[in-house]
Homo-oligomer: A and B are copies of this chain.
Amino acid sequence: MMEHASHRLRARRLGIDTHSESVVFLRKDCPVCRSEGFSSHNRVALAAEGHHAVATLYQVESDLLDRDEAGLSDAAWLSLGLHDGSHITVRHAPPVSSLSLVRGRVFGHLLDDAALREIIADIVAGRYSAIEISSFITACAAKPLSLDEICGLTGAMVDVGERLTWGKPIVADKHSVGGLPGNRTTPIIVAIVAALGLTMPKTSSRAITSPAGTADAMETMAPVALEEKKICDVVDKEGGCIAWGGALRLSPADDILIRVERALDIDSPGQMIASVLSKKIAAGATHLVIDMPVGPTAKVRDAETAAILSANLMFVAGRFGLHAQVVLGDGRQPIGRGIGPALEARDVLAVLNCDKDAPQDLRDRALVLAGALLELCGHATTGNGKAQAAAVLDNGQAKTKFERICAAQGGMRTPPVSRYRKEFFASTDGAVSQIDNRRLARLAKLAGAPEDKAAGLELHVRLGGKVTRGGRLFTLHAEADGELAYASNYADMNTDIIQVTQT
């Protein structure tokens, strides 16, 4: 390849957030575009002082940039390690050979371990554009991944990131398949399990498509964005933590794939299994309980789907030496009352405090899961896990452990309270016959969750519960009046989210 002095461009940080996809902006009439014959949407290779990145090119025909400037999105700027005064070169990106494997998969050729490793390595290196990732995800959903492919994908996703090690024979972990708003059992389970002397270094995600992830809710009670060293210190000291895993580069491919899955609202079983297990394996777990709520508007909709998914999860986990157990649960309605980071945190604190009006469904689900985990780890005999868990919750040891964990993570704090609220009422007497988890979650998101920690909604009714005309069904919480208006509007147009049947 020839180098041209004129191909060096002054790098300019445009401060544009394009997520993980690097974008470069060049004048259409700049020397590089002219001599290289670039056109908009070309994939180009950027280089600066030993750093390389592949970016999508947008051409500019205005005075936004000078002709010797290259404007960079934040992702591009950071991956090249640039600073003011840096220069970069831009050239045609070499063909990404793993894309031909993706095309092959579209047309039905299964991917072996080596192929999946190549694809995942290229994705993490930023060599795929968002539309290429979209095609990969869609292909793996339209023609579901085989069990071998799921294992290959899981292994590839583990290998491309960091791995935590804990030097303990048993490292407990828990995952929820999700889709159930308010299902915030994790902080309670960690507190119980750690109070009983087991190691449970829990790394959680922020919300992806839901109104709150565990990390979002936990962050309203203590810092969660901890460095690896800090996480180790907390776990050394307290036996457990509830931290955000995002800074650790555990299965970094997962974070990239999930952004596109979210935008497409596509969630295929094979990718879900690889996503869950790659994170857990990378986090050093040896024993894993998986919470799988089943219901018509949960992520897993029926018993048959649950059975197949459970079997596949346990099969793939087994291939990696991870002891996994799936605990099915009732997914017909949310768990707890709050939906949204702070509102869910309040439910968690009420259960840990053994408040009289704490949501009993949340308490019970946390005890079932903690019990299953204690039994799986050999800490309780079969059938006795739940009672053992209840004992440390009721005697205050779990609460104390939780407070100590919060303190170790940087200091316990009180969840914030919303500025704007609006209540919604039943239009008839009757009993609650159906609750739509998905639209309820959407409502909480329209109200501002999870970005606004105090936003979301509080549910005042349960399935089968009696209501009277004019009685409260739920309260919206928001931090901005625009969002309260959007959410209210959606609620008014979807009065069947909570169905009341006359009795």
Contacts and interface: CB of A to CB of B under 8 A. Distances in A.
Interface of A: 1-2, 4, 7, 13-19, 25, 28, 34-37, 39-41, 58-62, 64, 73-74, 92, 99, 103, 106-108, 129-135, 137-139, 141-143, 259-260, 263-266, 446, 448, 451-452, 480-483, 485-486, 489
Contacts of A137: 135
B143 A138 contact: no
Given A2-B482, A260-B131, A17 B60 contact: yes
Given A16-B25, A134-B138, A489-B1, A36 B482 contact: yes
Contact of A58 (B18, B59, B106): B18
Contact of A138 (B7, B138, B448): B138
A17 B40 contact: yes
Nearest to A25: B16
B37 A480 contact: yes
Copies held by the complex: 2
B130 A99 contact: no
Nearest to A479: B37
Given A25-B16, A61-B15, A264-B135, A39 B482 contact: no
Contact of A480 (B16, B34, B103): B34
12 contacts: A2-B481, A19-B41, A35-B480, A35-B482, A36-B480, A92-B446, A107-B141, A107-B142, A131-B133, A131-B260, A132-B263, A142-B142
Nearest to A105: B142
Contacts of A18: 40-41, 58
B134 A61 contact: no
A290 to B, nearest CB: 23
A448 B37 contact: yes
B132 A92 contact: no
B451 A39 contact: yes
B138 A481 contact: no
Given A15-B60, A17-B58, A41-B263, 19 more contacts: A1-B485, A2-B481, A2-B485, A14-B64, A17-B28, A17-B59, A17-B60, A34-B480, A35-B483, A36-B480, A36-B486, A99-B265, A106-B141, A106-B142, A107-B141, A107-B142, A131-B133, A131-B260, A138-B139
Contacts of A446: 92
A486 to B, nearest CB: 6
A486 B1 contact: yes
Nearest to A6: B482
Contacts of A2: 481-482, 485
B106 A266 contact: yes
A16 B263 contact: no
Given A135-B134, A264-B131, A16 B58 contact: yes
A48 B392 CA distance: 61
A10 to B, nearest CB: 16
Nearest to A36: B482
Nearest to A65: B15
A368 to B, nearest CB: 31
B483 A452 contact: no
A485 B16 CA distance: 33
A31 to B, nearest CB: 9
Nearest to A478: B37
Contacts of A4: 482
B482 A60 contact: no
Contacts of A39: 451
Given A2-B482, A60-B16, A142 B132 contact: no
Closest 10 CB pairs of A and B: A15-B62, A142-B142, A35-B482, A138-B138, A131-B134, A134-B134, A17-B40, A2-B485, A15-B61, A135-B138
A276 to B, nearest CB: 20
A18 B259 CA distance: 21
Contact of A143 (B142, B451, B486): B142
B264 A132 contact: yes
B131 A36 contact: no
A266 B39 CA distance: 20
A54 to B, nearest CB: 14
Contact of A131 (B74, B143, B263, B482): B263
A62 B14 contact: yes
A13 B62 CA distance: 8
Residue among A15, A28, A34, A99 having the largest count of chain B Cβ atoms under 10 Å: A15
Nearest to A14: B64
Contacts of A134: 131-132, 134-135, 138
A74 B446 CA distance: 29
